[in-house]
Amino acid sequence: MRVTLLGTGCPQVSTRRYGPSSLLRWNDRQFLVDCGSGVTQRLLGAGSAGKAIDALFLTHLHSDHIIDLFQLIISSWHQGRDRPQRIFGPPGTRQYLHGLMALWRPELDQRIAHEKRPSTVALELNITEVEPGIVLHDGDLTVIAVPVRHQPVKAAYGYVFTDGRQKVAFSGDTAFCPELILAAKDADALVHECFIHREMLALPGVRGLETIENVASYHTLSTEVGKVAAQARARCLILNHFVPVAFDAGALLAEVRADYEGPVLIGEDLMQFDTATGMVSHGDAVVALPLS
């Protein structure tokens, strides 16, 4: 399995860290986890495209995780996608997507009538609202939805991909979550969000202390995420979806290292990790992790 971090940011705007999204490649299949801002551009940067995605898995319906969903749909159509979009998400996904397509229907109808493209099948949606447990079998690959703790969001999930030999777990947005730890046991890679509390400062007119504490309450703190990886016995911890987007990477690594001894990757957009080989690539840099 190959994991590519497409966007490692959050609602804060950043040219370095786009919105949360990850790509998992397994054999000839490609799966997208979340659909944050800039996802279609990052897919091209990763050597893929929306037309190639076999399924999209939404962890929850917060705007930063779904904001470029229509861009994915429309750009995939422009790229010549020859099948409907297959989308998995929590309850409410169907209503959201039907509303999204209805919003754009006048523009779509005009484009369809005027541009005379060969097919409109790429604009069709195959939507599955998931419940906890197995949500997809694809050959030897199984995808499991894991309920996580992102209250007051009513339905939020992490996802585990496994083929019986390799295993990758995505946390989605969650506070410290024993259910996720159990589901991610012995994962080759745990891709986990990270809230860096010491870097979030009160700013007049932007956020106060109450805002900071409320946001922190439904994320996993940088002082906790190492404990998650250690208890899950993950072979590699990949940090992503950083809040805030700018931080002291050395200090973050030291916090995580206090609890977890395995390899830690401070995620960057377009960083890639191969679970079979332990190879990590980002830009021109390629290194091999010492996986146990």
The whole-angstrom separation of Cα 121 and Cα 145 is 27
The whole-angstrom separation of Cα 214 and Cα 196 is 14
Q: Are 284 and 53 in contact (CB under 8 A)?
A: no
Point out the residues that are catalytic.
64
Q: Phi, psi (5° rounding) for residue 265?
A: -110, 120
- Tokens 């996720």 appear where? 180
The token pair at 42 is 């990052």
The token pair at 113 is 């009538």
The token pair at 198 is 């010491």
The whole-angstrom separation of Cα 95 and Cα 75 is 22
* Cα-based distances in Å from 139 to 47, 55, 146: 24, 14, 21
* Cα-based distances in Å from 271 to 7, 187, 249: 9, 19, 15
The whole-angstrom separation of Cα 280 and Cα 65 is 25
